[in-house]
Amino acid sequence: MFRTLITISVCCIAIAGCKESGNETKPAATSSSTTSEVTIPSSSFMSTRPENVKDLVEIKKTAKTGDDVVFLARVGGKVKTFMDSQAIFIAADPGLVSCELMGEEDHCTIPEDYCCEDSQKMKAGLATIQFVDQQGRPLKTSAMNAGGLEPLKFVVINGTVRDRNDDGLFIVDANSIWVGGKPNRSDMRAGSMSAGL
Protein backbone atom coordinates (compact mmCIF):
# COMPACT_ATOMS: atom_id res chain seq x y z
CA MET A 1 0.00 0.00 0.00
CA PHE A 2 2.83 2.39 0.90
CA ARG A 3 4.54 1.66 -2.44
CA THR A 4 1.34 2.41 -4.33
CA LEU A 5 0.88 5.72 -2.52
CA ILE A 6 4.42 6.78 -3.43
CA THR A 7 4.01 5.99 -7.12
CA ILE A 8 0.56 7.56 -7.28
CA SER A 9 1.86 10.77 -5.76
CA VAL A 10 4.68 10.89 -8.33
CA CYS A 11 2.23 10.54 -11.21
CA CYS A 12 -0.14 13.11 -9.75
CA ILE A 13 2.73 15.59 -9.51
CA ALA A 14 3.54 14.90 -13.15
CA ILE A 15 -0.02 15.50 -14.30
CA ALA A 16 -0.25 18.84 -12.51
CA GLY A 17 2.19 20.53 -14.92
CA CYS A 18 4.68 23.30 -14.37
CA LYS A 19 2.01 25.99 -14.40
CA GLU A 20 1.60 25.26 -10.72
CA SER A 21 5.31 25.35 -9.98
CA GLY A 22 5.33 29.13 -9.97
CA ASN A 23 9.08 29.27 -10.49
CA GLU A 24 10.49 28.84 -13.98
CA THR A 25 13.98 29.69 -12.81
CA LYS A 26 14.24 26.70 -10.50
CA PRO A 27 16.86 24.32 -11.94
CA ALA A 28 15.80 20.88 -13.10
CA ALA A 29 16.66 18.06 -10.74
CA THR A 30 19.13 15.96 -12.66
CA SER A 31 21.02 14.43 -9.80
CA SER A 32 22.35 10.94 -10.39
CA SER A 33 23.19 10.42 -6.74
CA THR A 34 21.91 7.28 -5.09
CA THR A 35 20.97 6.35 -1.58
CA SER A 36 22.60 2.92 -1.76
CA GLU A 37 24.72 0.57 -3.83
CA VAL A 38 21.68 -0.42 -5.89
CA THR A 39 22.06 -0.10 -9.66
CA ILE A 40 19.73 -0.65 -12.59
CA PRO A 41 20.90 -3.78 -14.44
CA SER A 42 22.29 -3.27 -17.94
CA SER A 43 19.87 -6.01 -19.06
CA SER A 44 17.10 -3.46 -18.50
CA PHE A 45 18.16 -1.67 -21.69
CA MET A 46 17.77 -2.76 -25.31
CA SER A 47 20.39 -2.00 -27.95
CA THR A 48 17.95 -2.60 -30.82
CA ARG A 49 14.79 -0.55 -31.21
CA PRO A 50 11.58 -2.57 -31.43
CA GLU A 51 9.70 -2.08 -34.71
CA ASN A 52 6.14 -0.90 -35.32
CA VAL A 53 5.78 0.74 -31.93
CA LYS A 54 2.72 2.86 -31.14
CA ASP A 55 2.87 6.16 -29.29
CA LEU A 56 2.15 6.28 -25.55
CA VAL A 57 -1.18 8.08 -25.95
CA GLU A 58 -2.55 5.29 -28.17
CA ILE A 59 -1.49 2.53 -25.77
CA LYS A 60 -2.80 4.41 -22.75
CA LYS A 61 -6.31 4.59 -24.21
CA THR A 62 -6.95 0.86 -23.87
CA ALA A 63 -4.24 -0.64 -21.63
CA LYS A 64 -5.43 -2.17 -18.37
CA THR A 65 -3.63 -2.92 -15.12
CA GLY A 66 -1.54 -6.05 -15.64
CA ASP A 67 -1.23 -5.63 -19.42
CA ASP A 68 2.15 -5.92 -21.10
CA VAL A 69 2.74 -2.80 -23.19
CA VAL A 70 5.31 -1.40 -25.61
CA PHE A 71 5.22 2.27 -26.58
CA LEU A 72 7.24 5.25 -27.79
CA ALA A 73 7.58 8.26 -25.51
CA ARG A 74 10.06 10.95 -24.50
CA VAL A 75 11.73 11.42 -21.13
CA GLY A 76 10.19 14.52 -19.62
CA GLY A 77 6.90 16.21 -18.91
CA LYS A 78 7.66 17.87 -15.60
CA VAL A 79 10.16 20.22 -14.00
CA LYS A 80 11.42 17.27 -11.96
CA THR A 81 11.59 14.38 -14.41
CA PHE A 82 13.63 11.92 -12.31
CA MET A 83 13.27 11.02 -8.64
CA ASP A 84 16.55 11.28 -6.76
CA SER A 85 16.36 8.16 -4.61
CA GLN A 86 14.03 5.86 -6.54
CA ALA A 87 14.26 4.53 -10.10
CA ILE A 88 11.22 6.44 -11.28
CA PHE A 89 10.91 8.95 -14.11
CA ILE A 90 8.23 10.70 -16.14
CA ALA A 91 7.63 9.99 -19.83
CA ALA A 92 5.53 12.03 -22.26
CA ASP A 93 3.81 11.14 -25.50
CA PRO A 94 5.95 12.19 -28.50
CA GLY A 95 3.03 14.20 -29.87
CA LEU A 96 3.24 16.58 -26.91
CA VAL A 97 5.43 19.63 -27.43
CA SER A 98 8.17 20.16 -24.86
CA CYS A 99 9.40 23.64 -24.07
CA GLU A 100 12.69 23.27 -25.94
CA LEU A 101 10.76 22.82 -29.19
CA MET A 102 8.67 25.97 -28.70
CA GLY A 103 9.52 29.53 -29.66
CA GLU A 104 13.01 30.88 -29.34
CA GLU A 105 16.09 29.16 -27.95
CA ASP A 106 15.47 30.57 -24.48
CA HIS A 107 11.70 29.97 -24.49
CA CYS A 108 11.89 28.14 -21.16
CA THR A 109 14.65 27.65 -18.61
CA ILE A 110 13.63 24.01 -18.13
CA PRO A 111 13.51 22.47 -21.62
CA GLU A 112 12.11 19.09 -20.54
CA ASP A 113 9.08 20.82 -19.06
CA TYR A 114 5.79 20.94 -20.99
CA CYS A 115 4.30 23.96 -19.21
CA CYS A 116 2.80 25.45 -22.38
CA GLU A 117 0.96 22.27 -23.41
CA ASP A 118 -2.79 21.77 -23.03
CA SER A 119 -3.61 20.26 -19.63
CA GLN A 120 -5.99 17.66 -21.08
CA LYS A 121 -3.38 16.50 -23.57
CA MET A 122 -0.92 16.21 -20.70
CA LYS A 123 -3.39 14.13 -18.72
CA ALA A 124 -3.79 11.77 -21.67
CA GLY A 125 -0.12 11.68 -22.60
CA LEU A 126 1.96 11.20 -19.44
CA ALA A 127 3.23 8.03 -17.79
CA THR A 128 5.27 7.20 -14.72
CA ILE A 129 7.97 4.63 -15.49
CA GLN A 130 9.70 2.67 -12.74
CA PHE A 131 12.33 -0.03 -12.42
CA VAL A 132 11.30 -2.40 -9.64
CA ASP A 133 12.88 -5.18 -7.59
CA GLN A 134 11.55 -8.73 -7.22
CA GLN A 135 9.06 -7.53 -4.61
CA GLY A 136 7.70 -4.91 -6.99
CA ARG A 137 9.25 -1.96 -5.16
CA PRO A 138 11.07 0.81 -7.06
CA LEU A 139 14.84 0.32 -6.98
CA LYS A 140 16.49 2.68 -4.51
CA THR A 141 18.57 4.61 -7.01
CA SER A 142 17.97 7.36 -9.54
CA ALA A 143 17.32 6.30 -13.14
CA MET A 144 19.04 9.45 -14.41
CA ASN A 145 21.87 8.51 -16.84
CA ALA A 146 21.23 4.77 -16.46
CA GLY A 147 21.47 3.21 -19.92
CA GLY A 148 21.77 6.70 -21.40
CA LEU A 149 18.47 7.95 -19.93
CA GLU A 150 18.27 11.72 -19.75
CA PRO A 151 15.62 14.38 -20.25
CA LEU A 152 14.27 14.94 -23.78
CA LYS A 153 15.43 11.63 -25.27
CA PHE A 154 13.06 9.30 -27.04
CA VAL A 155 12.48 5.95 -25.35
CA VAL A 156 10.64 2.77 -26.23
CA ILE A 157 9.22 1.32 -23.03
CA ASN A 158 8.55 -2.40 -22.76
CA GLY A 159 6.79 -3.10 -19.48
CA THR A 160 3.73 -4.03 -17.47
CA VAL A 161 1.00 -1.64 -16.37
CA ARG A 162 1.17 -1.45 -12.58
CA ASP A 163 -1.74 0.92 -12.09
CA ARG A 164 -3.95 3.31 -14.03
CA ASN A 165 -7.12 5.33 -13.66
CA ASP A 166 -9.33 7.72 -15.60
CA ASP A 167 -7.65 10.76 -14.04
CA GLY A 168 -4.44 10.24 -16.01
CA LEU A 169 -2.54 7.92 -13.68
CA PHE A 170 -0.50 5.41 -15.72
CA ILE A 171 2.32 3.59 -13.94
CA VAL A 172 4.44 1.10 -15.86
CA ASP A 173 7.01 -1.31 -14.44
CA ALA A 174 9.78 -1.31 -17.04
CA ASN A 175 11.06 -4.67 -18.26
CA SER A 176 13.38 -3.16 -20.86
CA ILE A 177 13.92 0.25 -22.42
CA TRP A 178 15.45 1.37 -25.70
CA VAL A 179 16.99 4.85 -25.47
CA GLY A 180 17.09 6.97 -28.60
CA GLY A 181 18.13 10.50 -29.45
CA LYS A 182 16.51 13.91 -29.20
CA PRO A 183 14.25 15.84 -31.59
CA ASN A 184 14.80 19.34 -32.94
CA ARG A 185 12.57 22.19 -34.07
CA SER A 186 12.77 21.17 -37.73
CA ASP A 187 11.99 17.50 -37.05
CA MET A 188 10.04 16.62 -33.91
CA ARG A 189 10.59 12.90 -34.57
CA ALA A 190 14.36 13.15 -35.03
CA GLY A 191 15.97 10.73 -32.62
CA SER A 192 12.93 8.48 -32.42
CA MET A 193 14.36 5.80 -34.69
CA SER A 194 18.04 5.74 -33.79
CA ALA A 195 20.21 6.37 -30.76
CA GLY A 196 22.21 9.54 -30.51
CA LEU A 197 22.34 12.99 -28.94
CA angle 155, 160, 161 (to 5 degrees): 100
- The band of 197, judged by pLDDT with boundaries at 50, 70 and 90, is low
Q: Are strands 45-46 and 170-179 parallel, antiparallel or unpaired?
A: parallel
Domain membership of residue 38 (yes or no) is no
Q: How many domains does the chain have?
A: 1
Domain membership of residue 24 (yes or no) is no
Domain membership of residue 32 (yes or no) is no
3-state SS class at 155? strand
| pLDDT tens column, 45-73 | 999 999 999 999 999 999 999 999 999 99
Domain membership of residue 119 (yes or no) is yes
Domain membership of residue 59 (yes or no) is yes
Mean pLDDT of the region 94-123 = 76
Mean pLDDT of the region 78-94 = 95
Domain membership of residue 23 (yes or no) is no
pTM for this structure?
A: 0.79
pLDDT of residue 102: 67
| Separation CA 160–CA 172 (nearest Å) | 5
Domain membership of residue 194 (yes or no) is no
Domain that holds residue 151: 2-18+44-179
pLDDT of residue 76: 93
Domain membership of residue 127 (yes or no) is yes
* Choice between 109 and 39, residue whose per-residue pLDDT is larger: 39
Q: What is the CATH number of the domain that holds 140?
A: 2.40.50.200
